[in-house]
Amino acid sequence: MALAALAIFSTAAHAAGTAPLERWRSYAGVSWEPSKDGADPAPFAASVSAPIAGLHFDAQATAYVSTPRLVSAGAPATLNTLDTRVKTGPARLTAFPSAERNAVAGVPDQSLRNVLGFHVDRKNGWLWALDMGFVAGESEAPAGAQKVLVLDLKSGRTVKRIALDGVADRKGSFLNDIAVDERRRVAYISDSGMRSAPNNMVGLIVVDFASGQARRVLDRHPSLQVEAGVKVVSHGAEVWPGNPLLLGINGVALSPDGRTLYWTVTTGTRVHAVATAILRKADAGDERISAAIRDLGAVGGNTDGIVTDAKGALYITDVTRNGIVKYEPRNGTMSLIASDEGVHWPDTPAILPGGDLVFTSSSLNSHFAGSVKSGDERYDLWRLPIGKRSARLR
């Protein structure tokens, strides 16, 4: 899809009118310092290098966020809880499960080094943390650093560690997002392969909790790969002109019954799906899996994170049109349902316990390009009322 076409899509979406979005929380950077006498804590000195990216809520509406170490390795933690009772000032973060467990210098196969995608498992009371392994400044992830750590939400202890070195490349992989079937205890991981661009080493990784085994499928498959000729556009401008963003499979999500896996490609235009039953078959090769993939259609813009609600509708962040696209599996419709010019790179969407959708917006493309000045960073949480109990969680 050409740059001009994406601009037309953006204009048309606003002209058609969409549901209003609420800037639910707006933070001037981040802080790991405690508050004194109710005053705002001092922001982290390198807050501009610690943008909020991933977001999920537990059953009590406690927010967990990731601050990936992609711009700098200096953030005190890469996985945190966020105090959403505070609406402005620096985002008040607490390292989860602790600062020591988030130490870059810790044992690589045990310490959380660089988390972007993670999943809060409300059924089992766990958090599945996907560790990319490498941090900013490293050309290769240390041995053992690529992993999934399943953590107990209450105690923070490690319930299980699942190694990924055997199914991911320590130099070329970019372990981006994770979706978890909480009943079957099976996780699906997107490998965007961005560190090996332009020939991205994309793939999908299937992780089984019971056996502790991980399996790579659809290695370099076209449905996961960067689409030829596609440019990533945000706010009417190409992202990183001259050094274009080449990001393969990014967001992954499961239907409520765990039977369907959805995914999108950031440097792409479409949504795909496949039955998880075939992914869980150890003897199913890529040819057989490939034949089962369904192309669900064009989103309308470039994408990042995705999530499903309790009724099975799929919500997709549209970074081109600054909003949310909804795909309805019952009738196959795809539509932009919310958009706002104040949204700068909508990243991870999550569902509150009451059913409403909240997503992060932190100008990630600008942060990764180094074009945000210290003190100008803004990390927003936007909210879209789609549930019935939204009034309780304001």
- Which residues, at least 6 apart from 220, have a Cβ–Cβ distance to it below 8 Å? 193, 200, 201, 202, 203
- The three-state secondary structure class of 57 is strand
Which residue is listed with tokens 């030829």?
A: 228
- Which residues, at least 6 apart from 151, have a Cβ–Cβ distance to it below 8 Å? 96, 97, 126, 127, 128, 129, 157, 158, 159
Domain residue extents for the chain: 3-393
C-alpha pair distances (Å), 91 with each of 50, 88, 105, 315, 371: 11, 7, 25, 25, 21
**Within 10 A of 122 (CB to CB), how many other CB atoms are there?**
15
pLDDT value at position 17?
Answer: 56
pLDDT value at position 388?
Answer: 56
Closest CA to 221 of 258, 269, 272, 167: 272
- Helix residue spans in 294-363 (DSSP H): none
Rounded CA gap, 233 and 351, in Å?
26
Q: pLDDT tens across 358-394, in order?
A: 999 999 889 888 888 999 999 999 999 986 543 333 3
Let me know if 145 is exposed, middle or buried by CB neighbors in 10 A (0-12, 13-18, 19+): buried
Which residue ranges of the chain lie beneath pLDDT 50? Answer: 1-16, 389-394
- Which residues, at least 6 apart from 173, have a Cβ–Cβ distance to it below 8 Å? 132, 133, 141, 146, 191, 193, 195, 196, 201, 203
CA dihedral 316, 209, 105, 75 (to 10 degrees): 20
pLDDT value at position 8?
Answer: 37
Which amino acid, 236? Answer: G
Rounded CA gap, 251 and 217, in Å?
16
Residues 31 and 44: beta-carbon distance below 8 Å = yes
* DSSP one-letter code for 367: H
Residues 323 and 341: beta-carbon distance below 8 Å = no
Q: State the fold for domain 3-393.
A: Neuraminidase (2.120.10)
pLDDT value at position 6?
Answer: 40
